[in-house]
Structure 1
Amino acid sequence: MSVGDPPPAIPGARLLFSLDAATAYLNHGSFGAVPIGVQRAQQRLRDEIDRNPMSFFVHPGLTDRIVHTRRHLAAFLGADPDGSALVPNVTAAVSLVLQSVRLTSGDEVLLTDHGYGANAFAVRRQCRRDGATARTVALPLDATDAEVVSRIRNALRPGKTKLLVVDQITSPTAKVLPVREIAAAAREHDIPVLVDAAHVPGMLDVDVERIGADFWVGNLHKWAFAPRSTALLAVAPAWRRRIEPLIVSWEQESGFPMAVEFQGTIDYTPWLAAPAGLFTLRTLGLDTVRAHNAALAAYGQRVVGESLGLAPTDLPDPGAAEASMRILPLPSGLATTQPEAHALRQMVADKLATEVAINAWGGRGWLRLSAQVYNRPDEFENLAERLPPLLAGLR
């Protein structure tokens, strides 16, 4: 199979999902899609709760089940289960870390311009509260790993930079960053690093311990087929006693991680059903799924790019062979602001019955395509045929 060719379908994979057949869902990266078997596993847990809420929440066993689930998910990611905590999502973990770092006046948090917007909002809010400063380092879209590390290293201010926030796979630009090397560069100056790995679990083969970040958090409800909202926050030993939960509940005296995980009557069913998602992924075959998704994403990028008159050199390389999200630039002048990007995304959904991600980044609009086992090549081909006339009517 040459680069850009569509991969063969994984037999039966499309039937595992309850997605609307009338819509081409090419945006798995935003909210994921939960397999039917995992939905049923979660529903059985809900039924268990409602048969006897006291038995589920109060009688011995819930905390043991949480710990068992955490160990299962941490093992999959190569994280220390005793130094990890289940959390709802990456954005919740970012606020948790920002609170625990305890910034003071004159401190700064360093971000990149590829970061997730909500996390940037959280950083700026915490900085306003603490009298600190949020600063952004620009990374060219075509920067090599060495260039990325060099730019970030040069942007660090020892003694002033109190936290570096960096994505392992960027949301707006679908770029895989060399987080292990970035963490090593920050460690030279004792600057803690928070890795936003929202898209990593399930998509990339990861060993969290080897990355060496102070904080690493990944969502399992995107590419690991877990129910929403399920994420794992891994914390380096030096920080574990300093992690304070956003909400204080009955396990506060237990310390990290249970003080973070146990939050009274929150819905624990997504976490407890998450191993069923990993079971589905392993049943399909991890390597098979990753190869299929990466090849189909590359194919989609190529055929849609060709329909928009883009040369192969105009199509950004994500930087990892197994990346299953790809971006391509939209015609100049379209979706140059985030409100315009949201409006165009909705127009594509309404008029083309296709779900995609559209982001404004670097002064222009970008289309992000995701590929998952339920997608077919013809869904990308149909978008390639119908998108150019829609965009031409907007110019």
Structure 2
Amino acid sequence: MGGTEVEGSYVGWDRIGESFSLDPAIAFLNHGARGAVPVAAQRAQQRVRDEGETNPIRYFRHLPERIAHTRRHIAAFLGADPEGSALVGNTTIGAAIVLQSLGLGAGNEVLTTDHRYGAIAFTAERECRRTGATVRTVGVPLDAGEDEVTATVAQALRPGRTRLLIVDQISPPTARLFPVEKIVAAAREREVPVLVDAAHVPGMLPVAVDAIGADFWVGNLHKWAYAPRGTALLTVAPRWRERIDPLAISWEQESGFPARVEWQGTLDYSAWLAAPTGLFVLRTLGPERVRAHNADLAAYGQRVVGAALGLTPEELPDPGSPTLAMRILPLPAGEATTFDAAADLATRIEDKLATVVAVMSWSGQGWLRLCGQVYNRREEYDRLAEGLPGLLRQSR
């Protein structure tokens, strides 16, 4: 399959390594953490930055309309209403905007699951401390099916008191797909608003945001949709839009949502304006082919590394869908059971095995999370499987 030139960079499956700037001596199996930006998107971002330095006044004068154009492009890709969406820096920023716009107070609560991302938990806790509200967490079994997940979350809702439910579409620590459509429907019956944290969805899964029906949905473009880092889309249901305020006030405040959220003065907006180039890279490679390739690699990695650690196929967590490009597997008992221990193990794996992976502590257990991306190869997971057992023995 032939490729094409995008921003002066070759994009094609036959020379896929040329599309990224990754160190060839390192196996980068943690795309879900930060994402690796294609060279084409890097160059598009630098071109925008260079343009801004030729005449900063003129550049900033036209930025609002260019941001709006970019937003419409991204919203169309995600199946979201462009007039009900706003570009933000990341999902955590989007969640903070939603939380501080709700008008929480004493007697209110924010409900999360124990699969939530740590920074989202911190954000909810801070807003609740500030307002007198509380955060409550419901545990969801890792092996629960869709109906059990939905019922567990729905039963934890307390209408009249639960002012917001935050639920992941794909959980970062457990790489689990949640049935958000069913959860949103159950919450709507109880008149509880829902924020869907979809940090890993854009690019990894096909999505029609408006069809989910959530009050708020926010997803990163800089993980699986190849945008430069610092690019996310926050979508807000019509009844909430006039209540949404930015974290900091700027000159577009009187313009209403979404401009008042997007315009933050002299920020560097180049990542947003280069995001369509990342989407073009995805379309050039073929979204369905990319997704199938990545999901297959993640599943392969889970199998071979799991087997090397003595795990049976039944002991490998089911992600809830074969289409996910992230998988987790349990580490031996006592390994990486705290945040610091997990970070230390990830560093040792990188230093000793030349492999970048995510290591997490969740529910009192250490977990290894593997990702699959177009630049990865099966041999990289094979090398990790060969070296990891010995590395873990050395730590005991």
Tell me if both proteins adopt one fold, taking TM over 0.5 as the criterion. yes
Distance in 2 (CA, whole Å) between partners of 1:12 and 1:108 is 51
Distance in 2 (CA, whole Å) between partners of 1:299 and 1:321 is 11
Pick from 13, 16, 29 the counterpart of residue 16 of structure 2.
Answer: 13
Pick from 25, 36, 41 the counterpart of residue 38 of structure 1.
Answer: 41
Task: Tell me the equivalent position of 2:280.
Answer: 279
Aligned pairs (5 A) from 1:215-254: 215-254=216-255
Distance in 2 (CA, whole Å) between partners of 1:208 and 1:23 is 35
The letter for the 2-side match of 1:272 is: L
Distance in 1 (CA, whole Å) between partners of 2:286 and 2:77 is 14
Task: Tell me the equivalent position of 1:27.
Answer: 30
Report the CA distance between 1:338 and its aligned residue.
1.0
Distance in 2 (CA, whole Å) between partners of 1:121 and 1:384 is 34
Task: Tell me the equivalent position of 2:190.
Answer: 189
Task: Tell me the equivalent position of 1:54.
Answer: 57
Task: Tell me the equivalent position of 2:333.
Answer: 332
The letter for the 1-side match of 2:89 is: P
Distance in 1 (CA, whole Å) between partners of 2:301 and 2:83 is 41
Specify the SS of the correspondent of 1:19. Answer: coil
Distance in 2 (CA, whole Å) between partners of 1:277 and 1:13 is 14
Task: Tell me the equivalent position of 2:158.
Answer: 157
Task: Tell me the equivalent position of 1:166.
Answer: 167
Distance in 1 (CA, whole Å) between partners of 2:103 and 2:388 is 48
Report the CA distance between 1:174 and its aligned residue.
0.1
Report the CA distance between 1:102 and its aligned residue.
1.1
- Which string of whole-angstrom CA distances, capped at 9 and with x for unpartnered residues, describes residues 229-261 of structure 1? 100000000000000110100000001100000
Task: Tell me the equivalent position of 1:308.
Answer: 309
The letter for the 2-side match of 1:53 is: P
Task: Tell me the equivalent position of 2:206.
Answer: 205
Distance in 1 (CA, whole Å) between partners of 2:143 and 2:149 is 10
Distance in 2 (CA, whole Å) between partners of 1:230 and 1:12 is 27
- Which string of whole-angstrom CA distances, capped at 9 and with x for unpartnered residues, describes residues 216-238 of structure 1? 00000000000011000000000
Specify the SS of the correspondent of 2:49. Answer: helix
Aligned pairs (5 A) from 1:64-79: 64-79=65-80
Report the CA distance between 1:365 and its aligned residue.
0.2
Distance in 2 (CA, whole Å) between partners of 1:10 and 1:303 is 24
Specify the SS of the correspondent of 1:37. Answer: helix
Task: Tell me the equivalent position of 2:84.
Answer: 83
Specify the SS of the correspondent of 2:14. Answer: coil
In structure 2, runs of 5+ residues without a counterpart are 1-11
Task: Tell me the equivalent position of 1:148.
Answer: 149
Report the CA distance between 1:14 and its aligned residue.
2.2
Distance in 1 (CA, whole Å) between partners of 2:26 and 2:381 is 12
Report the CA distance between 1:345 and its aligned residue.
0.8
Task: Tell me the equivalent position of 1:386.
Answer: 387
The letter for the 2-side match of 1:31 is: R
Task: Tell me the equivalent position of 1:363.
Answer: 364
The question of 1:256 aligning with 2:257 is answered: yes
Specify the SS of the correspondent of 1:21. Answer: coil
Report the CA distance between 1:262 and its aligned residue.
0.6
Distance in 2 (CA, whole Å) between partners of 1:206 and 1:11 is 28
Specify the SS of the correspondent of 1:12. Answer: helix
The letter for the 2-side match of 1:41 is: A
Specify the SS of the correspondent of 1:318. Answer: coil
Distance in 1 (CA, whole Å) between partners of 2:75 and 2:151 is 31
The letter for the 2-side match of 1:92 is: I
Distance in 1 (CA, whole Å) between partners of 2:295 and 2:267 is 35
Aligned pairs (5 A) from 1:87-106: 87-106=88-107
Task: Tell me the equivalent position of 2:64.
Answer: 63
Report the CA distance between 1:63 and its aligned residue.
1.1
The letter for the 1-side match of 2:109 is: E
The letter for the 1-side match of 2:391 is: L
Specify the SS of the correspondent of 1:11. Answer: helix
Aligned pairs (5 A) from 1:117-132: 117-132=118-133
The letter for the 1-side match of 2:40 is: G
Report the CA distance between 1:11 and its aligned residue.
2.3
Report the CA distance between 1:350 and its aligned residue.
1.2
Report the CA distance between 1:347 and its aligned residue.
1.0
Distance in 2 (CA, whole Å) between partners of 1:64 and 1:160 is 40
The letter for the 2-side match of 1:11 is: D
Specify the SS of the correspondent of 1:297. Answer: helix
User: RMSD across aligned C-alpha pairs, in angstroms?
Assistant: 0.8
Report the CA distance between 1:349 and its aligned residue.
1.1
Specify the SS of the correspondent of 1:232. Answer: strand
The letter for the 2-side match of 1:43 is: Q
The letter for the 2-side match of 1:357 is: A
Report the CA distance between 1:320 and its aligned residue.
1.5
Distance in 2 (CA, whole Å) between partners of 1:301 and 1:345 is 16
Report the CA distance between 1:317 and its aligned residue.
1.1
Which stretch has the larger CA shift, 281-290 or 336-345? 336-345
Task: Tell me the equivalent position of 1:138.
Answer: 139
Give the length in aligned residue pairs: 385
Distance in 2 (CA, whole Å) between partners of 1:109 and 1:42 is 37
In structure 1, runs of 5+ residues without a counterpart are 1-8
- Which string of whole-angstrom CA distances, capped at 9 and with x for unpartnered residues, describes residues 170-205 of structure 1? 000000000011000000011100000000000001
Distance in 1 (CA, whole Å) between partners of 2:339 and 2:140 is 19
Aligned pairs (5 A) from 1:338-349: 338-349=339-350
Report the CA distance between 1:12 and its aligned residue.
2.0
